[in-house]
Structure 1
């Protein structure tokens, strides 16, 4: 959620309405590291949330931004 908020603010601060970037050939490149929340969910492997990997893994971050903003360029995390 924080990454999405920061990306939205960056687009907004650039003076671009969210709608103007939709469908554009804009790339998303994200650097991420482990999170305390994700590490906490893995402490009890019998109770890992069903969508833990797709919701919390760092490799998903760039794709989530591309999907939300409907960007068609490369995305790499």
Structure 2
């Protein structure tokens, strides 16, 4: 069989990318919410901000659990 030197995409790497994307989105939403509060220019949707934050927290917790599990296996 031919040996492959390709990098394998692991679940840990996928969660790391998702966590980074969520971080950028959450920071942008917080900035938009604060801007909306300060200027009163538009009404912000707090439900979307809360649900995205909850999803971010769940993803970050799962990422940390996967990191601990991979350290124990190694």
Q: TM-score higher than 0.5 here?
A: no
Larger Rg: 2
Q: TM-score, length-normalised on structure 2?
A: 0.30
Structure with more helix by fraction: 2
Instruction: Give the TM-score of the pair, scaled to structure 1.
Output: 0.29
Q: Which has the higher strand share?
A: 1
